[in-house]
Amino acid sequence: MKKLAMILSLGILMAACNFGGGAGSDVKPISDPDAKTKTENSNSSYDPKRGQGKFTKVDVSPTLNAAMASNGEKVYGVKCVSCHKLTGEKLVGPGWLGITKRLTAEWIMNFATSPDNMIDKDPEVQAQLAICLVRMPNQNVSDEDARAIYEFMRKNDGVK
Ligand code: HEC
């Protein structure tokens, strides 16, 4: 009986791992302003807007670079599709719809190339980890591929 309750609550946790606000989701997005302030206070070297890593300033044009986005889509198809949907719906990790509106290019590219650096420090990722129960493994993404994936995410978010 105890075991059953555990399995049930685990199921609820997994189902709640949905950050894109997909249809039928009543889960609030994880951007809790309090969490950010707390981390800023306790770890002043970590910038939750930029994340941690080599990307400090990414140039992003207001219009889409279609060739780059299509390269990004290819990388996504090989390395990311097994865990990330293009809708807001969770698979293993959060769905990507709206991700470029929630997170900066720097944050996304730093995370894509080196998730380990950020998983333990970022308040948003900490919150996800608590719900997803899976750490995103390093996918050996090159700088160029990370930029292409970001462009593909922008396309997915409606940039033309
Ligand atoms: C084995 C599953 C898995 C694969 C493959 C994977 N991810 Fe993830 N990803 C996760 C999980 C789980 C999270 C949630 C954070 C955590 O718990 O580590 C995540 C979170 C993210 C986030 C933050 C999302 C958000 O909404 O805050 C980004 C960006 C991301 N992944 C990019 C990528 C990219 C780019 C690839 C492909 C190169 C990729 N991921 C491949 C599991 C995966």
Q: Which residues contact 70 (CB under 8 A, 6 or more apart)?
A: 152
- CA distances from residue 29 to 59, 98, 124, 151 in whole angstroms, order as listed: 27, 11, 9, 23
Which atom belonging to ligand 1 lies closest to the Cα atom of 30?
A: 27
Rounded to 10 degrees, the C-alpha dihedral 34/102/29/121 comes to -50
Q: Please state, in angstroms and rounded to a whole number, the distance separating the CA atoms of residues 85 and 149.
A: 13
61 contacts: CB under 8 Å, gap ≥ 6: none
pLDDT at 44: 65
Instruction: Say if ligand 1 is within 6 A of residue 151 CB.
Output: no
Q: What is the pLDDT along the chain (160 residues), one digit of tens a residue?
A: 555 554 444 444 444 455 444 443 344 444 544 444 444 444 568 899 999 999 999 999 999 999 999 999 999 999 999 999 999 999 999 999 999 999 999 999 999 999 998 999 999 999 999 888 899 999 999 999 999 999 999 999 999 9
Reported as a single tens digit per residue, the pLDDT across 76-117 is 999 999 999 999 999 999 999 999 999 999 999 999 999 998
pLDDT of 117 reads 85
Q: Which ligand 1 atom sits closest to the C-alpha of 95?
A: 26
- From the alpha carbon of 19, which atom of ligand 1 is closest? 26
Residue to mutate (ligand 1; options 52, 71, 84; most atoms within 8 A of CB): 84
pLDDT at 2 (0 to 100): 53
Amino acid at 148: A
